[in-house]
Amino acid sequence: MATTVSDGGRGPERYRAAQRGLSRLLVRDVRGLRRLILPSRLRTSVPDWIAAVQAVVDQYAQTSAALGAEFYEAQRDAAGVTGPFTVPVADPPPEKKSEAGLRWATKDVWQREPDAATPAQLEPLDVRLEQAEKKAELVAQKLVTDTGRSTVLRAVRQDRQATAWARSAALGACAFCKMLASRGAVFAQDTVDFQAHDGCHCGVIPVFAGQRFEPSPQAAEWARLYQEYAAGHSGSQLARFRRALAEHDSNPLPGSF
């Protein structure tokens, strides 16, 4: 008898909770490094801070990858899949990628001539540093969570028993994430492009041969709202879907309350 898999089952919910808990610890540690930035020595202290944050990201990315591997193995066992398979654990993000993200986070810190500065760059230094820290936290979170997602996606692609994957979105996710999660297991086995934004906590749900995907009640509701209010309106689907969620979804969109 074919088994069912859902984006709202106990396994996906536990995995998403574990990744969110990891993100909270990551943000705590990144904030603790703020003391390394010395306002009187920005040119020398900011690079030291970037290097320290990169080290923390690498550490947490390894844990994120391990959580992804454990989740995949548990889902495989639950599906009754036979035959050996070793999950290909993803490496931490490349140094150039994490450095580029953190340099973007601090781009408004540096003093500029008033006629060449953006409004953000004209703020007092303490405000600019605070904003840089918030951006860095989001960058770090995405880098770490992406490593776990990449681990699951690689496993789906290499496992002969896997056939597809679905997106799992949190109840309070944004309209973009809910829209993709509402589509169910439509992503082919070799689809490795997972679109995620900073702060995204969506997960990857593997589907194996002989399994039937059953959307969670919330994903089914999102699919209904999309079909009723957004489908067929080329170019404005996301905007229409966002309005429908704000008016009819029992789980409010971020910033709508």
- The DSSP result for 46-94, as a single string, is HHHHHHHHHHHHHHHHHHHHHHHHHHHHHHHHHTT--S-----PPPPPP
pLDDT at residue 257 is higher than 70: no
More confident residue, 1 or 147: 147
Q: b or e along 125-142 (b: 16 or more beta carbons within 10 Å of the residue's beta carbon)?
A: eeebbebbbebbbbbbbb
Lowest pLDDT segment from 16-30, 31-45, 162-176, 186-200: 186-200
**225 close to 244: Cβ distance less than 8 angstroms:** yes
End-to-end CA distance of the chain: 44
What is the residue-averaged pLDDT of the chain? 91
**9 close to 215: Cβ distance less than 8 angstroms:** no
**Model confidence pLDDT, tens digit, residues 176-224:** 999 999 999 888 877 767 889 888 899 999 999 989 999 999 999 999 9
Determine the pLDDT at residue 254.
Answer: 60
**Model confidence pLDDT, tens digit, residues 104-132:** 999 999 988 888 889 999 999 999 999 99
- d(Cα 197, Cα 141) in Å, to the nearest integer? 10
Determine the pLDDT at residue 2.
Answer: 67
Determine the pLDDT at residue 256.
Answer: 41
